[in-house]
Chains A and B, each alone.
Chain A
Amino acid sequence: MSLILAIFLGVVILVLAVTAIYHKNTKVAIIATGAVGLFASVLYLLLAAPDVALTEASIGSGLSTIIFFYVLNKIRHSND
C-alpha cells in the first residue's frame, strides 16, 4: 500500500516539476514549485524521515514560494 502511494506521489512530483519548468505563466510555475515541496514532504514522511519532512513542508512549500512571489513582483516592477 505504502509502495503504491510512494510511486503515486513520485509521479505527481514529476508532473508538477515539469509543469514548473515548462508552464508559460510564471505564477502557475511558482505554485507548482510549492506543490512539489508539499508532496515531497509527504513522501519523506512515508520514507521514515520526519525531520526532513518538517523542513520541506515549511521551507519548500511555504517560505520559498512566498519569496519567489516577492522576487517576481520586484522583477515585474523593474521591467515596466
Chain B
Amino acid sequence: MIKKGILLLLLVGFVAIIGSLLINFTGSNELNPLARYYAENGPAEVGAANLVTAVVVTYRGFDTLGEVTILFIAAAIVGFFLKVMNADNGRPNKLRKTSEILETASTLLVPTIFMLGVYIFVNGHLTPGGGFQGGAVIATGVMMIILAQPTSRFNHKLISVLESVSGVGFVAMGILGLILASGFLNNAFLPLGKLGSLLSAGAIPIIYVFIGIKVGSELTGILDSLKENQNEI
C-alpha cells in the first residue's frame, strides 16, 4: 500500500515537472548563438556544404573519434567472447537451401548496396549521410550476402587489417591537423577548395572514407562472428 502510494507520488511528480516544461515550451524562430556561429562561419572555416558534417567531423570531431572507439570496443568484445566459445569446428552446417529469388536478387542488389554505401561516405561533406551511415549500408550488403549464401566465408584477416588501417588513418589525420593546422582534427591543412565540389572541405572526405571503412568492417566483423558461432552449442 505504502509502496503504491510512493509510486503514485513519483508519477505525479514526473507529470508536474514534464507538464510544466511542456506548457512553457515555445519554439524559437532564430538560432541560438552557437548554432548561429556554425551557420555563419562554417562554410568559410570548414568549407563543407553539408553543415552537419562540418559540426560532426570538425567542430565536434573529438566526439566522433569517441563514437568510433565505442563501436570498436563493442565489436572487439563481441569477437572476443564468440571466439572463446568457438572451440569445435568443422561440424557440417545443416542449413535450409535459400530461395531462388533471394539468391538471384542478391547478385543484383549487393553491388548496388555497396556502391550506395561508398557514395554516401564519399559525398558525406556534400549530401546528408557520412561515414557511419555509409559503413552501416555496406554492412547491410554483407548481411545480404550472408542471407543468400550462408556457407560463404569472409576473410577475417582482411576485415581486421581494414579496420586497423582505417582507425590509425583517422587518428593520423587528426594529428596532421594538430601539426599543420590549428588543432586536433582540424581539416584546414588541405586546401578547402570550392564550396560544394567533391574535392573540397580539406581533410573531411579523407576522414569520412576512413570512418566509413572502419564502421563497415566493424559491423561486418560482428555479423561474421555471430554467423560463425551458429552451429555450435
Contacts and interface: CB of A to CB of B under 8 A. Distances in A.
Interface of A: 50-51, 54-55, 58-59, 62-63, 66-67, 70-71, 73-74, 77-78
Among B120, B136, B227, the one with the most A-chain Cβ atoms within 10 Å of its Cβ is B136
B222 A67 contact: yes
B137 interface: yes
Contacts of A51: 52, 128-130, 133
A78 B233 contact: yes
Tell me the interface secondary structure of chain B in the complex: helix
Nearest to A70: B226
Contact of A74 (B120, B133, B219, B229): B229
B227 A70 contact: yes
A62 B132 CA distance: 15
Of A50, A63, A67, A77, which is in contact with the most chain B CB atoms at under 10 Å from its CB? Answer: A63
B223 A73 contact: no
A14 B137 CA distance: 26
B139 interface: yes
Given A50-B129, A66-B143, A70-B230, 6 more contacts: A51-B128, A51-B133, A54-B129, A67-B222, A67-B223, A77-B232
A63 B226 CA distance: 12
A55 B143 CA distance: 15
B131 to A, nearest CB: 11
B140 A54 contact: no
A74 B227 CA distance: 10
A54 B134 CA distance: 9
A60 B227 CA distance: 19
B175 interface: no
B140 A62 contact: yes
B120 A54 contact: yes
A76 B52 CA distance: 43
Contacts of A78: 233
B195 interface: no
Interface in B119-159: 120, 128-130, 132-133, 136-137, 139-140, 143, 146-147
A63 B143 contact: yes
Given A51-B52, A77-B233, A63 B129 contact: no
